[in-house]
Amino acid sequence: MAIWSQEFYESDPSRGFLRGYTFEFVRGQGAVMAAVQGMQTGRLPWGAAHHAAYRKLHAHRTGMVAICEDLPEAHNRVTLDPVLKDGHGIPAPKLHYTLSENSRRMLDHAVARGSEILRAAGARDIATEAPIQSNGVHLMGTARMGTNPERSVVNEWGRSHDVRNLFIVDGSIFVTSAGLNPTRTIQALALYIADQMKRRLSTLFD
Amino acid sequence: MASDDAAPGPGLTDAARHALRQVAAMMIPASAEYRVPGADDELVFADMLRSTGRDTAAIARALADLDARAGGSFAGLDAARREAVAGEWRAAASPDFILLQRLVLQCYYRDDRVMRSLDMEPRPPFPKGHVVEQGDWSLLDPVRKRARMWRDAP
């Protein structure tokens, strides 16, 4: 169970960055994860003092994350690795990602607002990590949708500009990373593109 | 300490198992105050040996690193020296060490006796579920009154 807030999702020039983020508030973690994260963040000691320290953490933790929206930045891309190959000689994907100044400012804003929210809710010990190192990220974009073949990979109904019998239907056609969990939007895009293919069946590859 | 006769973990030597058990005891010792066993308890340790799984090689490497830091054998050190060497080992926080520490914590905090000491029922949440204390849902009333923020698809 989680509670979301999109209070800071839309662009607001006064914040110093474009686009925004979703806050996701989650319930506290179970006994094992509280111990694992407590150890990793130095809150839990080894030895006799462990038990008392753990009981301060257990059932008194919560978490929140800000899912930030990366803009379409050309330096973030996927290429073929020139060296690394699989057992069949197929090059591995090489992921290039650099945090942009816009995303950095967005993260700073999210950490500041998130800390305020947690303190107002009674938090006494707040730890932050931005960008998050020990959790998942959404791999989005690189084959974005658009009407201009010079600036996009697929057209407005999912067909490749360059290869007329190729349709791309996944998170790579997003034009930004989106500041939320993307699965439902990907599902909606899949339904939309399938409808477009049915509607255009007789001229699909023209 | 109880005997090390729990089922052997694949890939861990007797010496490695002994060191793992010593480390577990140092990490979470038994407590009379909280009425809990230590992480070197017979049942908890047996769970660890059954649960190394895909991390077995990493855990073996972590324990080999511990032995190397001890000058050959961690188990052969006196208690004070073990504390010092384990402290350095922990501070280095190698990925292999992180996995070993996670194994100990995972098996300890899913032990029935430990869970009961935390006022937890030693059972999975499904299918019985848990009753969750309800908060003040009226906090969301202003949100519910907002105009819708989405548009219909054409």
Range of the domain at A189: 138-206
Q: Facing residues of A25 across strands?
A: A3, A64
SS3 string, A104-159, reads HHHHHHHHHHHHHHHHHCCCCCCCCCCCCCCCCCCCCCCCCECCCCCCCCECCCCE
Is a pLDDT exceeding 90 seen at residue A194?
yes
pLDDT in tens, A89-135: 999 999 999 999 999 999 999 999 999 999 999 999 998 989 987 67
pLDDT in tens, B46-85: 999 999 999 999 999 999 999 999 999 998 899 999 999 9
Q: Is residue B89 part of a domain?
A: yes
Q: Is residue A130 part of a domain?
A: no
Q: How far is B17 from chain A (nearest CA, A)?
A: 19
Q: How far is A139 from chain B (nearest CA, A)?
A: 24
Q: Domains in chain B: how many in total?
A: 1
The tokens describing A117, both together, are 């929210």
Q: What residue has token string 């008392």?
A: A52
Q: Domains in chain A: how many in total?
A: 1
The tokens describing B124, both together, are 């999975």
The residue of chain B nearest to residue A38, with distances taken between CA atoms, is: B105
The tokens describing A184, both together, are 């439902």
Which residue in A40, A50, A192 is closest to B28 by CB distance?
Answer: A50
Pairing verdict, β A91-96 and A77-85: antiparallel
Range of the domain at B93: 14-123
Q: Is residue B18 part of a domain?
A: yes
Q: Is residue A64 part of a domain?
A: no
Average pLDDT of the residues in A51-66? 93
Q: Is residue A203 part of a domain?
A: yes
Q: Is residue A178 part of a domain?
A: yes
Chain B: residues touching A (Cβ < 8 Å): 26-29, 31, 33-34, 36, 86, 90, 98, 101-102, 105-106, 108-110, 114-115, 118, 120, 149, 153
Give the integer Cα–Cα distance in Å for A105 and A107: 5
Q: Is residue B139 part of a domain?
A: no
pTM higher than 0.80, yes or no?
no
Q: Is residue B52 part of a domain?
A: yes
Q: Is residue B80 part of a domain?
A: yes
pLDDT in tens, B92-134: 999 999 999 999 999 999 999 999 999 999 998 889 998 888 9
The set of long-range contacts for B51-54, using a CB threshold of 8 Å and a minimum separation of 24, is: B51/B103, B51/B106, B51/B107, B52/B9, B52/B10, B52/B11, B52/B12, B52/B103
Q: Is A62 on the interface with B (CB under 8 A)?
A: no
Q: Is A46 on the interface with B (CB under 8 A)?
A: yes
Q: Are B25 and B38 in contact (CB under 8 A)?
A: yes
Q: Is residue B95 part of a domain?
A: yes
Residues ≥6 apart with Cβ < 8 Å to A72:
A141, A144, A175, A176
Q: Is residue A58 part of a domain?
A: no
Residue A100 is inside which H or E element, if any?
none
Which residue in B29, B86, B109 is closest to A32 by CB distance?
Answer: B109
pLDDT in tens, B74-97: 988 999 999 999 999 999 999 999
A16 — alpha (psi -120 to 50), left (phi > 0) or beta?
left
Give the integer Cα–Cα distance in Å for B23 and B30: 13
Q: Is residue B83 part of a domain?
A: yes
pLDDT in tens, A167-180: 999 999 999 999 99
What ipTM does the predicted assembly reach? 0.84
Q: Is residue A45 part of a domain?
A: no
